[in-house]
Amino acid sequence: MRFTKPAWVMHKDSAMRGEEKRVSMFSCHVHPDGSRIATGGLDAKVRIWSTKPILNHASELSGRPPKSLCTLTMHTGPVLVVRWAHSGRWLASGSDDEIVMIWDLDPTAKGKVWGSDEVNVEGWKPLKRLVGHESDVTDLAWSPGDRYLASVGLDSAVIIWCGFTLERIRKIDQHQGFVKGVCWDPVGEFLATGSDDRSVRIWRTTDWGLEAEVKKPFDHSPGTFFRRLSWSPDGAHITASNATNNEGYVFIAAVIARNTWTSEISLVGHENTVEVAAYNPHIFLRDPSQPVTAPNICSVVALGADDRAVSVWQTKAPRPLIVAKDVFDRQIMDLSWSADGLTLYAVSSDGTMAVFSFDATELEGIAPKSAQEQYLKRFGFVPPPLPEGFSHQIPMDAAKAQANNRITPPPSPRAQSQDFGSVPPATVQTGGEQVHTLIAKRKPKKRIQPTFAGSLSGTVPSSSVNGIAAIPSSKPVSTVPVPGSMAAAPSRPFQDVPSSSAVPLSPPATSALQLSVSQPFGESASAFGLGLNTGESVEDYPMDLDGEVRISSLETTLQGGKGKRKAGDEAEDRIATKPRTLGGDRVRENVPVRPITGRSAASISIPALLSGEGPGLGGRLEAPQLLTYLKVTVEGSEDIFEGRNAEGDEPNEVIYVGGKQTQWLDYLPSSILALTATSAFCAVAMQDGSVNVYSHTGRRLMPALSLGAPCHTLTGSKNMLMVLTVSGMLYVWDVRKQAAKFPPISIAPILVPSPNLSIISTAVRPNGAPVIQLSDGVAHSYDPCLLSWIKLSEPWWAEGSDAWQGRQRANNQSAARGPVAIIEGAISERMAVDDGRAEKVRPAWWNAALTLGHLESKLHAAKVLDSPQEYKQALLLYAKRIADEGFRAKAEELVKELFGPVYWRPNREESWSPTTLGMSKRDLLKEVLNIFVRSKTLTKLGQDWQDIVKKAQNGE
């Protein structure tokens, strides 16, 4: 066995400047082809790494292939689980942000990672956000054949999604505690989940009913971060983590037998709670010379525990094969075996990864995958039919034909064209599916030149529009068959293609279009995520792939067939079929940025009253300086929205630039003062007091808005657009609904009290709440329900509140920080609120009063800013402080506010709302009561109300 800990596999704290601080890794999973591994961490990112530099020292030193392949940044909370689909085309990730994200390969998405210096060698795009959990998503699992995806979380729910359409099929909410582990029966008949309610439950996949509940080995199990469990590859056993013997004094992993659902076997030896179990994907034979029968089968399972040790067990032996102690500084969070069953990866909350590589002789009796497939057929389980028109399988004749044909894509037809290249007699008809395999060719010190190899059928998926022609070749070609490659993306409904409708090929087959790799990998090229561009022709060289990163055959189709592309189209698009855009044929010129002066007052003609000379404001709000050039980056992309003000008689214009090409432009009657661009719209504010709002394709989403005065600031977030004019009027619109969030409101009430006050920053939340930060440190918002400006936070609380977090901003993960924490951090930074706090003499109750007042203020601010996580955090801190101080009256009032009317039932028309910020008030109450019960002063109050809550739940 070989052991390694690659120091460069890490998730970094983005808040640390100038130094790299390792943060916890919560999950890892190896790609089915073994070429890459995905990890999820506290930095809210999913990272994909090459495995070859981990396993091969020479590859690590040479930097080929690159160590880091991709960083995915769409999650807003720590990523707790990552799982590749068995097909290898999709990656699922679950996070603290309550979202399950499905990522799909995107060869066009390579390049620099937004907001960092990292570069993505290959691109993965978010294919779909699966919304349904109401709390952290803790574990995910794909069923055999990717028929289903199961997700579990801290909302005690198990959600089943279709593995093809990604639609939600069923939500199971019978667990009474956080669900922290899930695994599928390899037969496909059952699903198992592990929960903090101290049970493992088995669910039938035929009707999603409860098959069995296993409780005995978990009666005294303590709380852990995860309860990851695993099903043996022969379907006979589940190994569940976090079990105990001897009333909780001996930490074990419980082995649960199929059908009887009892745990008679324990894996004993770890000195602390077992956190994760992971079976080797292969079955093993006790006697390799004997047939594959139940008595001759055993399994290998790995355990990771809170004692920082990893153990590997073979079920035919009473003792573990290996025990690796002191490998990590903290507990093990996840384990993953490679598909060949010879490499085990482990990650820990200390932020490191350890890798154990075995020889086949060390894991004796390993059986091929085909033996497992043959054995599982004996169970006689018939899986449910697939959604119509979808498949993850390669037809057998197509798989065989892959080695016999070399084909190259013809020019791309026009959009929506149904003409296809003629099919030569040498192509092979398959069962209605088309399979492509990439063949890599190389010449020493030349760029890698992959071409296509595969077969054709009379019918092709509707997401493809290219005909494929065979090319004659006298050179030998190394083909790499890839198991499950058709699973690349679920094939779309098939269409019959008349063979008579053909277009001539250009260039001709004899001078086939060569494809080159824009990011060369050197010798260990993996075409799994390559963007393909036209390159110069080179001689054919068969590529020796022995020991290299395997090449996976993945068809780059867009979801739902909305856009129809194949590798090679990109080159053709540039040559002949570049889409027509408004202004796209014009050469882009660089404009020097300089102020525009001397513009006559007549051309502006804004009355003095509206230029900030209104009552109380006295010209304190000024319009932005007029510049020749302005630009903003579109939120969530690298596209640019820019404005150009002419100094002469030429018209002013706004331009939307995507991929270095002008996508559209518009000419404007007045000079441009400010721009903003979100993921939903672009907006421009002009000197005549009007605002235009555009979609990303240049359509006007709203009529031109006439505000009567130039803007002071213009800002946007998601669907919200906010304008503050120099006359002191604030406007907020929901662009998607084309409606104002509240009537125009003056900011005079917050600016007038002091003549020295000025506005430091303005922002708008995705729910439409404005945030105005003033020079005195106070942050304001407007509450349309109260018809009043309200204070979100202020430096006053820093004078004595123990809950003031601003000074600790460096310790927070910026990705996970909420809006209230960000506001307090900005106040601390600007106002230096810590100066002189200790020297002042304060009254006796000063600290308690300010802490409670601050927390109450934070609760209201979190509500206004729509920040449920911060609301819950502040509520629990508030409850703890009340309990510590013994303020019974405040505690009772809080409990009654969360409990609501005693006889309230769902679906009854009453003024009391059972939720706040999407969270159940009574669920929040349970957590508050847990705090009260553990306190010294409010124990009785907490217990009494726990009884009342339980009775209300049971309908008594």
Confidence (pLDDT) at 911: 73
Instruction: Work out the angle between the directed axes of helices 939-953 and 888-899 (0-180°, nearest 10).
Output: 10
DSSP 235: S
Region of poorest pLDDT, from 22-36, 355-369, 512-526, 752-766:
512-526
Give the pLDDT confidence of 596-644 residue by residue, as tens digits: 775 533 333 344 444 444 445 657 888 898 998 999 999 888 899 999 9
509 confidence band (pLDDT: 50, 70, 90): very low
Residue 682 has pLDDT above 90, yes or no: yes
Confidence (pLDDT) at 530: 32
Cβ atoms 824, 806 nearer than 8 A = yes
DSSP 538: -
Residue 779 has pLDDT above 90, yes or no: yes
Confidence (pLDDT) at 730: 96
Task: Say how far apart CA 221 and CA 198 lie, in whole Å.
Answer: 7
DSSP letter for each residue of 465-492: ----EE----S-------TTGGGGSPPP
% of the chain residues with pLDDT over 70: 72
Six-digit token pair at 638? 């690298």
What dihedral do alpha carbons 239, 242, 243, 249 form, nearest 10°? 140
The amino acid at residue 778 is V
Task: Say how far apart CA 581 and CA 579 lie, in whole Å.
Answer: 6
DSSP 214: E
Please tell me the total number of residues recorded for the chain in this structure. Answer: 956
Confidence (pLDDT) at 275: 93
**Between 561 and 232, where is the model more confident?**
232
Residue 415 has pLDDT above 50, yes or no: no
Task: Say how far apart CA 609 and CA 402 lie, in whole Å.
Answer: 77
**Between 709 and 520, where is the model more confident?**
709
Residue 702 has pLDDT above 70, yes or no: yes
Residue 182 has pLDDT above 60, yes or no: yes
Confidence (pLDDT) at 842: 81
Task: Say how far apart CA 751 and CA 631 lie, in whole Å.
Answer: 30
Residue 277 has pLDDT above 90, yes or no: yes
Phi, psi of 91 (to 5 degrees): -120, 130
17 confidence band (pLDDT: 50, 70, 90): low
* Beta-bridge mates of residue 793: 779
Confidence (pLDDT) at 454: 38
114 confidence band (pLDDT: 50, 70, 90): low
Confidence (pLDDT) at 585: 64
Closest by CA to 707, choosing from 599, 610, 828, is 610
Task: Say how far apart CA 201 and CA 194 lie, in whole Å.
Answer: 7
Beta strands in 651-750, from DSSP E residues, in sequence order: 652-658, 661-668, 672-677, 682-686, 690-694, 705-706, 711-717, 720-725, 729-734, 739-740, 745-746
Task: Say how far apart CA 687 and CA 684 lie, in whole Å.
Answer: 10
Residues 6+ apart with CB under 8 A from 385: none
Cβ atoms 88, 33 nearer than 8 A = yes
Name the average pLDDT for the chain.
Answer: 77
Give the pLDDT confidence of 883-907 residue by residue, as tens digits: 998 999 999 999 999 988 876 666 6
8-22, 259-273, 649-663: range with highest mean pLDDT: 259-273
% of the chain residues with pLDDT over 90: 50
Confidence (pLDDT) at 661: 84
Residue 429 has pLDDT above 50, yes or no: no
Long-range Cβ contacts of 918-926 (<8 Å, 24+ apart):
918/134, 918/868, 919/134, 919/868, 919/871, 919/872, 921/897, 922/898, 922/949, 922/952, 922/953, 924/872, 924/875, 924/898, 925/895, 925/898, 925/899, 925/949
Task: Say how far apart CA 208 and CA 258 lie, in whole Å.
Answer: 17
Give the pLDDT confidence of 545-601 residue by residue, as tens digits: 333 344 343 433 334 444 444 444 444 444 445 667 777 666 666 677 767 775 533
Region of poorest pLDDT, from 151-160, 531-540, 816-825, 837-846:
531-540
Q: In what order do the strands lie in the sheet with 237-245?
A: 230-231, 237-245, 250-257, 265-268
Task: Say how far apart CA 479 and CA 651 lie, in whole Å.
Answer: 59
Residue 165 has pLDDT above 70, yes or no: yes
H/E element holding 284? strand 284-285
Confidence (pLDDT) at 598: 59
Beta strands in 753-866, from DSSP E residues, in sequence order: 759-764, 770-774, 779-783, 788-793
392 confidence band (pLDDT: 50, 70, 90): low
DSSP 553: -
How far from 778 is each of 830, 832, 863, CA to CA, in Å?
11, 13, 18
Six-digit token pair at 832? 């230096």
Three-state secondary structure call for residue 326: coil
How far from 583 is each of 160, 361, 666, 848, 939, CA to CA, in Å?
47, 66, 9, 63, 71
Measured at the CA of 648, the angle between CA 647 and CA 649, to 5 degrees, comes to 135
Confidence (pLDDT) at 299: 94
Three-state secondary structure call for residue 46: strand
Across residues 703-729, what is the average pLDDT?
94
Across residues 201-213, what is the average pLDDT?
93
Give the pLDDT confidence of 27-38 residue by residue, as tens digits: 999 999 999 999
What sections of 630-718 are H helices per DSSP?
A: none
Measured at the CA of 439, the angle between CA 435 and CA 443, to 5 degrees, comes to 170
Across residues 829-845, what is the average pLDDT?
67
Give the pLDDT confidence of 840-861 residue by residue, as tens digits: 778 888 888 999 999 999 999 9
Q: Exposed, middle or buried, 776 (CB in 10 Å: 0-12/13-18/19+)?
A: middle
Cβ atoms 813, 821 nearer than 8 A = no
Three-state secondary structure call for residue 940: helix
417 confidence band (pLDDT: 50, 70, 90): very low
Give the pLDDT confidence of 923-956 residue by residue, as tens digits: 999 999 999 999 888 999 999 999 999 888 887 5
**Between 346 and 431, where is the model more confident?**
346
Across residues 725-752, what is the average pLDDT?
94
* Beta-bridge mates of residue 492: none
Task: Say how far apart CA 735 and CA 680 lie, in whole Å.
Answer: 8
Across residues 310-319, what is the average pLDDT?
90
Confidence (pLDDT) at 333: 94
Confidence (pLDDT) at 224: 85
Confidence (pLDDT) at 909: 54
Beta strands in 558-635, from DSSP E residues, in sequence order: 629-633
Confidence (pLDDT) at 816: 60
b/e per residue, 511-529, with b = 16+ CB within 10 A?
ebbbbbbebebbbbbbbbb
Confidence (pLDDT) at 843: 87
Residue 726 has pLDDT above 80, yes or no: yes
Six-digit token pair at 138? 């803790």
Six-digit token pair at 652? 């002013």
Residue appearing with tokens 């593995």: 163
Confidence (pLDDT) at 837: 52
b/e per residue, 456-482, with b = 16+ CB within 10 A?
bbebbbbbbbbbbbbbeeeeebbbbeb
Across residues 788-810, what is the average pLDDT?
79
Residues 6+ apart with CB under 8 A from 660: none
Task: Say how far apart CA 480 and CA 451 lie, in whole Å.
Answer: 12
Task: Say how far apart CA 286 and CA 621 lie, in whole Å.
Answer: 82
The amino acid at residue 94 is G
How far from 653 is each of 425, 468, 630, 631, 660, CA to CA, in Å?
56, 44, 11, 12, 17
Give the pLDDT confidence of 785-795 residue by residue, as tens digits: 999 999 999 99
Confidence (pLDDT) at 36: 93
Residue appearing with tokens 């990163």: 549
Instruction: Work out the angle between the directed axes of helices 846-864 and 819-831 (0-180°, nearest 10).
Output: 130
686 confidence band (pLDDT: 50, 70, 90): very high
Six-digit token pair at 929? 């009561």
Number of C-beta neighbours around residue 592 at 10 A: 6
Residue 505 has pLDDT above 80, yes or no: no
348 confidence band (pLDDT: 50, 70, 90): very high
